[in-house]
């Protein structure tokens, strides 16, 4: 799970303006721990959002924000989260940044 957070933070820094903020939050909601990582960068174009978790997909390929990579980071992150019984999703607006969420189930109180 540390690798998931590392991947999300790496992407947030990569797609933010130099010196820009990255916000990380943790909340407990309805029996889940929800981690959010928000950047204030370029965002993900709407037409590319449906494919963001596909293996080898790079949303910014061929754009000025193409920083290389293999397009597996978000795919692997979501698979790791799923294998821990959690879920992963995002919200993004082009030119305003993205927020990625990871929700993991908490043990029931004893």
Q: What is the pLDDT of residues 19-55, one digit of tens each?
A: 889 999 999 999 999 999 999 988 888 888 888 887 8
* Greater model confidence, 7 or 16: 7
Q: What is the pLDDT of residue 62?
A: 46
**Which positions ≥6 away from 44 have C-beta within 8 Å?**
52, 59, 90, 92, 94, 98
Q: What is the pLDDT of residue 56?
A: 61
Q: What is the pLDDT of residue 60?
A: 54
Q: What is the pLDDT of residue 61?
A: 43
Q: What is the mean pLDDT of residues 61-87?
A: 77
Is 40 in contact with 94 (CB distance < 8 Å)?
A: no
Portion of the chain with pLDDT greater than 70, in percent? 85
Q: What is the pLDDT of residues 35-44, one digit of tens each?
A: 999 999 888 8
Which H or E run contains 22? strand 22-29
Q: What is the spatial distance between Cα 81 and Cα 21, in angstroms, rounded to a whole number?
A: 25
Record: fold of 2-105: Heat Shock Protein 90 (3.30.565)
């Amino acid at each position: 799970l540390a690798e998931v957070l590392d991947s999300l933070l790496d992407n947030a820094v990569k797609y933010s303006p130099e010196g820009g903020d990255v916000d990380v939050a943790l909340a407990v909601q309805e029996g889940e721990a929800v981690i959010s990582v928000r950047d204030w960068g370029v965002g993900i174009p709407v037409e590319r959002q449906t494919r963001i978790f596909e293996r080898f997909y790079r949303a910014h390929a061929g754009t000025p924000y193409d920083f290389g990579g293999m397009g597996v980071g978000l795919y692997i992150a979501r698979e790791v989260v799923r294998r821990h019984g959690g879920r992963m999703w995002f919200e993004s607006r082009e030119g305003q940044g993205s927020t990625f969420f990871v929700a993991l189930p908490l043990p029931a109180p004893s």
